[in-house]
Structure 1
Amino acid sequence: MHSSIIRNNETDYEALLAFKAATNDPLRSLESWNSSIHFCRWKGITCSSRHQRVIGLNLVNQNLTGFISPHVGNLSFLRFLSLDNNSYTGNLPRELGLLPRLQSLSVSYNSIEGQIPASLSNCTKLLSIVISYNKLAGPPPPELGSLPRLELIAFSRNNISGSIPSTFGNLSSLLRLYGGSNGLTGEIPDSLGRLTKLELVAFGENRLTGFIPPTLLNLSYIKIFDLAANQLEGTLPSYLGNTFPNLQFFSVGINLFTGSIPVSLSNATNLEYLHVGYNRFSGKVPSLVKLNKLGVLALSGNLLGKGESDDLSFISSLVNATSLLSLGLDENNFGGQLPDSFWNLSTTLSRLFLARNQLTGAIPSEIGNFVSLQDLRVNDNRFTGMIPYSIGKLRNLQILDFSRNGFSSNIPSSIGNLSRLLYMYLSENILSSGMPSSLGDCQNLLQLNLSQNGLSGPVAREVLSIPSLRTVDLSQNQLNGTLPVEIGSLKNLEYFNVSGNNFAGEIPSTLGGCVRLEFLDMEGNFLQGNIPSSFSSLRGLQVLDLSSNKLDGQVPSFLGEFNLLALNLSFNDFEGTLPEDGVFKNASVISVSGNPKLCGGIPELKLSKCGLKQHKKSTLSLTLKIVISTSGVILGISMILGFLIFCFLKRETKEPPSNPFGRSMLNVSYQGLLQATGGFSRDSLLGVGSYGSVYKGTLEEKLVAVKVLNLSQHGARKSFMAECEALRNIRHRNLVKVLTACSGVDLQGNDFKALVYEFMPNRSLDDWLHPQSNDNLVRGEIRYLNLVQRLNIAIDIACAVEYLHLQSGTPIVHCDLKPSNVLLDDELVGRVGDFGLARFLSRATDSFSTHQTSSSLLRGTIGYTAPEYGTGSEPSTYGDVYSFGILLLEMFTGKRPTGEMFKDGFGLNSFVQNSLPDRVADIVDPKLLHERETGTETTNGHRHYSSMGNHKCLVKVLSVGVACSADSAKERMSIADVVSELKSSRDALLRR
């Protein structure tokens, strides 16, 4: 660069270098920012032609991290600053107020914290301030109301609190005002009514109260008006549609408004979106005849209609709205039949909600005209007649809810044409005849509810062969025959209810293959035979009801091992001794009455004692009795001595797990955890997972992480038990250390369960690999993980998996290895956590031979789950190796396995395999390509490696990841070989 130019523009040059120094640049967007060319030619820089001063800085969507340097305030000629869609943290520097020429400030979609600097009011030429989608807090500064030229201010999707400043009414040039999705309180200031040029006002999703100022409803240029999801009250003025002639979007839903919907709204002929749902509007809906551009009409959740025949007369005024996509009329008082004009509505309609009204009559065949429908809900009305055969024309339908009406006759066979259907609810009608086998063509069904009808005949085998089904409710019908064995193919089934039918025969043993079952109700049938031994696989059961059948045989002892919330075996013909272990100890959750041949059990059940047959005793001689007694004593003593010797030998070989969670904090209570986490406050929240939330806390002056289970979530209780069981006897430096557990009740008397872990200050591996989703990832000056650090962490994870599979006694399968379940301590040592899905295996040579002792259900995480699990295979060590392979590839490519580029059979494994070994530089995480070569020290004291060493190491590591994530389980590397390969790669790298 010419020295004269540098001298004349030295301030700009140094300010830009300071900006670069505060920025981390993984995509090398600032590579051109060096002394070889004039800074006016640097990427993202615009200079004035006359003075060669910086007037524009535009680095949108460059994946930049770090913080915005306060030196940006020295760019005194700057007019435009655009840093949207990056990952900047820190505060907005108050030095921005030193930019007198600034016209546009745009830093949306970052993670910027702190308050909006009041110093921006010094930038009197500002036209727009766009700071949405950040983590800004505090109130909006009133000083901003002094900006005379400001046309746009957007601070939506932050944590802004306080009230809307009345000074905003002084922004006489303002056109658009966005403040939605914050924590604003108080009333809307009357002064906003002075903004005569205002076209858009959006304060939805806040906590605003009071009334809408009448002056605000008189602004004739308004196009978009959004105050939904607040606590506003009052009525809408009758003249609304006249004063808003340009209105396109009007949303005041989810508030406390009363009165009627203004008739004048029909005069807002440009209206496309009208949402007044979930208020207290009443009366008739006015004619909307002029709203031909309407796409969404949401009137749900009000008090509209009077249960009269003409309540839906306004529908005829919508027939010219040819772009109508969504019509929400549910949860009102609409009565009468659907008018003929209803079937003349636009065929573009994709969502139709009529539920919870007082509608009567039949659904005619014209329903088939709405070929674009995806969501159809008419439940909780008084509809009668047949479900029209034309329903089969709605091939885009995903949700169908006709429940709680008076539909009669049979289920039309055409329903099998709905191949995209996910949810089908036809319960509580008077449907009869058999279940159509064509239902089996709905191969994407997740939930099927046909309960409380009059269905008869056998269950269609085709229906119980739909692999995606999770919920099946056929209860309270007249179905008969035997339950088809095909039910065992429903590997995803969680809820199965066939109570109150006429099923006979034995319970199919294949039902034991539905290993995800949580609720099984077969009460009130004619089932006979024993409880199948295959039920021992249903470790996830929470409710089991087999009452009022003809079942016999002994009650299986394995049921005592289940974590059941309710077990009902009453009114059958069970016999023999009732077990007393596990769930059978709790009389409040089991019922066995009406089984006269049962004996024993705990006293609370009041069963007869199990006595010996006395006539056989009398035939024994005294000598024989003495021999038997003596032998019994000797045998008992031998067993006790054998057990003591076994325990002694076991103690010699393995440290006894005297306390499953250590000795330091055994008696922690709900109150103790409440205090430790500041009342489970938002400030202490570290993250939210599948089964609960994790909070930072302090117990006995020690930082801890407290995982509070969300017990309303299906599987949370099983996850808690599984994690306790898995962590009870395992200890390893690369496993997250659990300190204690809490199982009790909260202050409202609700069940409460929590686990307390050692706190990991560097959070999860996922936060480091994808820092845009992290808000506290700062460790000194390190903003990313270098190659050596990633290798060390990969080895840590592999060592943890090796320990679980090969060194922990009974092999343990983690079942959910992924970056978010790997935590990093203060030395960046990787620790595997979250054992909520862990499984214990038998000591068989084939890792697929499993013995399930955990109550958790296999779910895993999409993208990391082994392909064989999708076809119903049991959990295995091979599955963990697959997950580790995907995790390893993600660590070194920086790409999530669920990214948009991975679809149609092309996954992360194929992406890497197709590029090895020559095109490694094209696929690895760009951050790894920017590490300096030999001579630069890393944080752990090791020196970096040469480019050749870099390449060889990456090829070897990625090859391990590919080998681990092979589609065929048997072709995957053993975890012991993985550890060996990764360690040798690291050692070779550090020797260079």
Structure 2
Amino acid sequence: MQLGYFWSFFCFYATVFFLSLGLTDCALGGNETDRLALLEFKARITDPLGVMSSWNDSINFCLWQGVTCSHRHQRVTSLNLMSLQLAGSISPHIGNLSFLRELSLDNNSFSQEIPPEIGRLSRLQYLYLPNNSLSGGIPSNLSRCSNLIKFHVLNNQLFGEIPMEIGSLSKLTLFAVSGNNLTGAIPASFGNLSSLESLAAGENYFSGSIPNALGKLTTLRKLFLHINTFSGTIPPSIYNLSSLTDLYLAGNPFYPGSLPSNLGISLPHLRHLGMFQAQLIGSIPPSLSNASNLEVIQLQLNSLTGQVPTFGNSLGLQLFSIEYNFLGNGGASDLNFLSSLTNATNLRVLVAGDNNFGGMLPELIGNFSTTLEIMRFNDNHIVGNIPAGLQNLINLIVFLAPGNHLSGNIPTVIGELKNLQILSLSFNELSGHIPSSVGNLTNLYEVSLASNNLQGDIPSSLGNCQNLQKLDFSYNNLSGSIPAQVIGLSSLSIYLDLSHNRLSGVLPLQVGNLKNLNVLNVSKNMLSGEIPSTLGSCVMLEFIFMQGNLFQGPIPSSLSSLRGLQELDISNNNLSGEIPEFLGDLIYLQVLNLSYNNFEGVVPVGGVFKNASRTSVIGNSRLCGGTPEFHLPGCNFKHSKGKLSLTWKIVISTLSGLLCLILVLSSYFLFLTRKKRNEPASDFAENLHLMVSYHSLSKATDGFSLANLIGAGSFGSVYKGILDQSGMAFAVKVFTLVRHGASRSFTAECEALRNIRHRNLIKILTVCSSVDYQGNDFKALVYEFMANGSLEEWLHQKPTTEETQETPRSLNLLQRINVTIDVACALDYLHHQCETPIVHCDLKPSNVLLDNDMTGHVGDFGLARILSEATQDLPASRTSSVGVRGTVGYAAPEYGMGSEVSTAGDLYSYGILLLEMFTGKKPTNDIFKEGLNLHNFVRAALPDRMLEIVDPFLLQEIVQWENGGAGGCRVQKSLVSMLEIGVACSAELPHERRNISNVVAELQSIKNEFLGARGHRTITL
């Protein structure tokens, strides 16, 4: 019996011992799986900082940087590699880390897709991947991560729809996908996420209605659905989520609706209310003041009416924006709400412009918090003086109150605002002198006091404002001379407008310091003396207005240096001498007014003088010649005894012979080179500077009919127009101003295009900013008409149908090479040859237009950015905005993680465009998924499998070259070289991309090699 018990205990403990050995073996096997998975993860990563150098066999993998293991099993539970400049893709082997609870790869440059193998991580609780360049969709099997608490992928390049299976993650508290390219609707299954506290899906392309089911999320605190394309009405149930602290539904085309009257009661914990451009009507509910935790109120760009309630309980208010509404009724009590804002001790932004506010600015604005940085009351009906208490706002950066009825003097205490950068008080009824204390505002970037009743001298102390770029004192009663200190401010680069005053004396020689100035307007004054020759140093000038003064003497020859001059008006002066020939050589000069002076002699016939509708010489009685449209007498040249001397005959004969020889050689040279390749279209230039109105554009486009529609984009539509008076064709881009960002796009395009000119850039003819027949704002840009449409249309034609039996057309190899050179030259000019570098930000085939000669012109500068620090945006009034991402497939990967705009981003877009041109495949083609993209597709095929990926339209041409013998090899080599450039330009990391100047040189070399190959065999191209 005892032996039996002994044997039983022995068997029991032996079993336990061997089982423990087995468990240990299993644990060891799991450890090895984790180690190998980490090494596979490392193998796909570029590590410029060397932070993963510790990931080797010298130490246990649980001690590797960023790795955390459990104490009991020594299994990986956390992988945290935030902000380490890592790049590459996330390895599918991440799915083997079966004990992983946290994966944090924030703020790196990871690309390609989120591996679906993550769905195997059943213990995963925290998945943080924001600010990377991840693409592809959200894996549907993520729903298997049943313990997932937080999913954070902000600012990537994810696309596709949100899988409805996500609605099964009952423990999910955070779902953040803002700043991607996601589409479709928000799944109704999200109403089942009973633990959800934050839903961030702003700045995507979601559509449809906001699901009513979201009203069931009683734990929801933050809801961000701003800047999408949601339609329908805002579900009332959203306003009953009493736990909400942040509500952003702005920038969606909802049906017009009002804010509920009990908003502040039903949402008592509200901190941030972002409802700008949300089609709101009605009034601001007074109950909103009950939400005592409010920090941000953004209600701008709606149709709100009535009085603004007080916000005395909102002590923490930081941003209050109600501009572009219809608030107020012009009465004295409209601004009473301002008194309640003095309790907001952290107020930074107060924006109330473009409303119907009347009354006076109260003295108590001096009691606002000293944290206030931006204050705007522009375009209202405000009367009275500017409060002297303004001096207390020592951190004020922007003060705008133009377009009101302010009167009295500008208070001298304004000089206390040492941080002020923008001061605009134009279009008021201010009087008195401009205080000299304005010279204390050394951070001023822009000052505008136009259209008031100001008197006295321009204070010379303004010369202290060394950052000033815009100065407008026009339409006042200013007198005295122009201070040399002001006219010599070299920082002035955008405009200087002193017109319509009573200024006297000479234009100081220091005007030559304005080397970067774009517009100079000193018209309608009493200035005298000669036009200073130093004006020729202002090489960036495009517009000069000096009419209506007492200037005398000749036009200085130094003005011939102003090669970018577009408009010159020196009419109604006492100028004399001959009209210089160089004015006809300024190829961009569109308008010239020389009328009512004392000019004499022959009127030139070249350039701007060819068209009398753009040139005025009336009121100069001693002029002769010119085009017949000037109706001037012919010129009679008298010579001694009516005959030329023998010496003059010999000289004239010799010069004539040389001239003939030069003309013959020039004609022969032009015959051998590509016609008009490097010349502007002279016929087209004859019709520049059309002064058009809304009526003219509507008539020219047949009421903007669909028959004349030639394109559409995010912010507007493009129509073809024909002017009756000249029969000239043009393209007009009409901006859809109700679309969020359209006005900003219009401004950006104007800002970029007015400072650039190049044969490979689309040329803007004029701008129309008016109202349509319904009284709505109307903004449009008028361009040259490109007869051959866009590169997109040539690369990707619509399929032929029975109704449209069109002959297929395509670009041949030489044409494609030429277009790639054209686009590269345009980028080289924008990046390296402009005074300040310009980044296009949206380069793609639809933005490359082709003229009659198939020359490429880069257009659509609506997203362009000028890299000069001085022209960067000043502090904005709202806390969220759409980042510059360009177009899906063409936008640089680094933009998806919030990187600053750079020329390297354009290089990426150019590389993708080049690859698309020669493969015929869009970067968004259906074949590009599961980690494959156009860049990798081409790179993997070069050089041996080049013919497998080339555009089928080019194959027949290549076969012809092959049949031709030796030339075929050189053509294939040229094509491989082109594709290699595209691959190099579209590299994942910005610093690995080619320099565009080098690319231009390489492309030209490839073209020469290709043309050399043509010598081996002649085929029809």
Specify the TM-score bucket, using the shorter chain as the normaliser: 0.5 to 0.7
- Aligned match of 1:188: 210
Which of residues 743, 767, 782 in structure 2 aligns to 1:750? 782
Paired letter, 1:427: A
Paired letter, 2:170: P
Residue 662 of structure 2 corresponds to residue 643 of structure 1: yes
Residue 301 of structure 2 corresponds to residue 278 of structure 1: yes
- Aligned match of 2:1011: none
- Aligned match of 1:949: none
Determine if contact 1:67/1:90 at 8 Å carries over to the other structure: yes
Aligned counterparts of 2:443 and 2:553: Cα–Cα separation in 1: 39
- Aligned match of 1:453: 476
1:185-236 deviation digits (Å, cap 9, x = unpaired): 2221111111111111111111222322222111121111111222233111
Q: CA 1:542–1:742 in structure 2 vs 1: closer, same or farther (change >3 Å)?
A: closer
Q: CA 1:298–1:545 in structure 2 vs 1: closer, same or farther (change >3 Å)?
A: same
- Aligned match of 1:131: 153
Of residues 49-58 and 393-402 in structure 1, the stretch that sits farther from structure 2 once superposed is 49-58
Aligned counterparts of 1:819 and 1:516: Cα–Cα separation in 2: 16
Determine if contact 2:763/2:783 at 8 Å carries over to the other structure: no
Determine if contact 2:102/2:125 at 8 Å carries over to the other structure: yes
Aligned counterparts of 1:709 and 1:353: Cα–Cα separation in 2: 22
- Aligned match of 2:821: none
**How far is the alpha carbon of 1:709 from its aligned partner?**
13
Residue 624 of structure 2 corresponds to residue 599 of structure 1: yes
**How far is the alpha carbon of 1:374 from its aligned partner?**
1.0
- Aligned match of 1:234: 257
Aligned counterparts of 1:711 and 1:105: Cα–Cα separation in 2: 38
Aligned counterparts of 2:304 and 2:429: Cα–Cα separation in 1: 29
- Aligned match of 1:48: 70
Which of residues 757, 769, 777 in structure 2 aligns to 1:720? 757
Q: How does 1:913-932 map to 2 (within 5 A)?
A: none
Q: Secondary structure at the match of 2:135?
A: coil
Residue 284 of structure 2 corresponds to residue 252 of structure 1: no
- Aligned match of 1:173: 195
Aligned counterparts of 2:664 and 2:234: Cα–Cα separation in 1: 81
- Aligned match of 1:82: 104
**How far is the alpha carbon of 1:381 from its aligned partner?**
0.4
Q: CA 1:73–1:573 in structure 2 vs 1: closer, same or farther (change >3 Å)?
A: same
Determine if contact 2:446/2:471 at 8 Å carries over to the other structure: yes
Aligned counterparts of 2:176 and 2:235: Cα–Cα separation in 1: 21
Which of residues 142, 147, 161 in structure 1 aligns to 2:164? 142
Q: How does 1:406-555 map to 2 (within 5 A)?
A: 406-470=429-493, 471-555=495-579
Q: CA 1:711–1:261 in structure 2 vs 1: closer, same or farther (change >3 Å)?
A: closer
- Aligned match of 2:45: 23
Determine if contact 2:298/2:319 at 8 Å carries over to the other structure: yes
Q: Secondary structure at the match of 1:342?
A: helix
Residue 141 of structure 2 corresponds to residue 119 of structure 1: yes
Aligned counterparts of 2:49 and 2:526: Cα–Cα separation in 1: 67
- Aligned match of 2:234: 212
Determine if contact 2:190/2:213 at 8 Å carries over to the other structure: yes
Q: Secondary structure at the match of 1:639?
A: helix
Q: CA 1:147–1:711 in structure 2 vs 1: closer, same or farther (change >3 Å)?
A: closer
Q: How does 1:927-946 map to 2 (within 5 A)?
A: none
**How far is the alpha carbon of 1:641 from its aligned partner?**
6.3
Q: How many residues align?
A: 735
- Aligned match of 1:324: 347
**How far is the alpha carbon of 1:338 from its aligned partner?**
2.2
Aligned counterparts of 1:406 and 1:289: Cα–Cα separation in 2: 33
1:328-376 deviation digits (Å, cap 9, x = unpaired): 1111111112234333322332211111111111113222122221110
Paired letter, 1:520: I
Q: CA 1:575–1:836 in structure 2 vs 1: closer, same or farther (change >3 Å)?
A: farther
Determine if contact 2:764/2:782 at 8 Å carries over to the other structure: no
Q: How does 1:251-400 map to 2 (within 5 A)?
A: 251-400=274-423
**How far is the alpha carbon of 1:659 from its aligned partner?**
3.6
Unmatched runs of 5 consecutive residues or more in structure 1: 669-677, 683-707, 725-740, 760-799, 805-812, 822-833, 838-858, 864-894, 900-937, 941-992
Q: Secondary structure at the match of 1:496?
A: strand
Q: Secondary structure at the match of 2:282?
A: coil
**How far is the alpha carbon of 1:103 from its aligned partner?**
0.7
1:393-439 deviation digits (Å, cap 9, x = unpaired): 11111110110000011111111111111110000001111212222
Q: Secondary structure at the match of 1:225?
A: strand
Determine if contact 1:862/1:898 at 8 Å carries over to the other structure: no
- Normalised to the residue count of structure 1, the TM-score between the two structures is 0.68
Q: Secondary structure at the match of 1:264?
A: helix
Aligned counterparts of 1:433 and 1:629: Cα–Cα separation in 2: 59
Q: CA 1:22–1:939 in structure 2 vs 1: closer, same or farther (change >3 Å)?
A: farther
1:536-586 deviation digits (Å, cap 9, x = unpaired): 111121111111111111111111121112111111111111111122223
Q: CA 1:274–1:32 in structure 2 vs 1: closer, same or farther (change >3 Å)?
A: same
Paired letter, 2:325: N
Aligned counterparts of 1:477 and 1:743: Cα–Cα separation in 2: 32
**How far is the alpha carbon of 1:589 from its aligned partner?**
2.0
Determine if contact 2:753/2:764 at 8 Å carries over to the other structure: no
Aligned counterparts of 2:432 and 2:56: Cα–Cα separation in 1: 79
Q: Secondary structure at the match of 2:426?
A: coil
Which of residues 677, 690, 694 in structure 2 aligns to 1:661? 677
Determine if contact 1:720/1:836 at 8 Å carries over to the other structure: no
Paired letter, 1:349: L
Determine if contact 1:743/1:754 at 8 Å carries over to the other structure: no
Q: CA 1:116–1:526 in structure 2 vs 1: closer, same or farther (change >3 Å)?
A: same
Residue 587 of structure 2 corresponds to residue 565 of structure 1: no
1:807-861 deviation digits (Å, cap 9, x = unpaired): xxxxxx957899999xxxxxxxxxxxx9999xxxxxxxxxxxxxxxxxxxxx997
Instruction: Report 1 or 2 for greater relative contact order, CA contacts < 8 Å, sequence distance ≥ 6.
Output: 2
Aligned counterparts of 2:539 and 2:300: Cα–Cα separation in 1: 42
**How far is the alpha carbon of 1:680 from its aligned partner?**
8.6
**How far is the alpha carbon of 1:633 from its aligned partner?**
8.1
Q: Secondary structure at the match of 2:396?
A: coil
Q: Secondary structure at the match of 1:153?
A: strand
Determine if contact 1:157/1:181 at 8 Å carries over to the other structure: yes
**How far is the alpha carbon of 1:257 from its aligned partner?**
0.6
1:50-101 deviation digits (Å, cap 9, x = unpaired): 2222222221112222211222122222111111111111111122111111
Identity of aligned residues (%): 43
Paired letter, 1:595: N
**How far is the alpha carbon of 1:17 from its aligned partner?**
2.5
Paired letter, 2:400: R
- Aligned match of 1:768: none
Q: Secondary structure at the match of 2:576?
A: strand
**How far is the alpha carbon of 1:139 from its aligned partner?**
1.7
- Aligned match of 1:152: 174
Q: Secondary structure at the match of 2:599?
A: strand
Aligned counterparts of 2:271 and 2:900: Cα–Cα separation in 1: 39
1:292-313 deviation digits (Å, cap 9, x = unpaired): 1111111111111111111112
Q: CA 1:21–1:835 in structure 2 vs 1: closer, same or farther (change >3 Å)?
A: same
Q: Secondary structure at the match of 1:720?
A: coil
**How far is the alpha carbon of 1:722 from its aligned partner?**
6.5
Aligned counterparts of 1:281 and 1:491: Cα–Cα separation in 2: 46
Unmatched runs of 5 consecutive residues or more in structure 2: 1-23, 685-709, 715-744, 768-779, 792-823, 841-854, 859-864, 870-898, 904-941, 945-1021
Q: CA 1:646–1:213 in structure 2 vs 1: closer, same or farther (change >3 Å)?
A: closer
Aligned counterparts of 2:763 and 2:383: Cα–Cα separation in 1: 53
Determine if contact 1:406/1:429 at 8 Å carries over to the other structure: yes
**How far is the alpha carbon of 1:587 from its aligned partner?**
2.6
Aligned counterparts of 1:816 and 1:277: Cα–Cα separation in 2: 36
**How far is the alpha carbon of 1:604 from its aligned partner?**
2.1
CA RMSD of aligned residues (A): 4.3
Q: How does 1:788-799 map to 2 (within 5 A)?
A: none
Aligned counterparts of 1:49 and 1:751: Cα–Cα separation in 2: 69
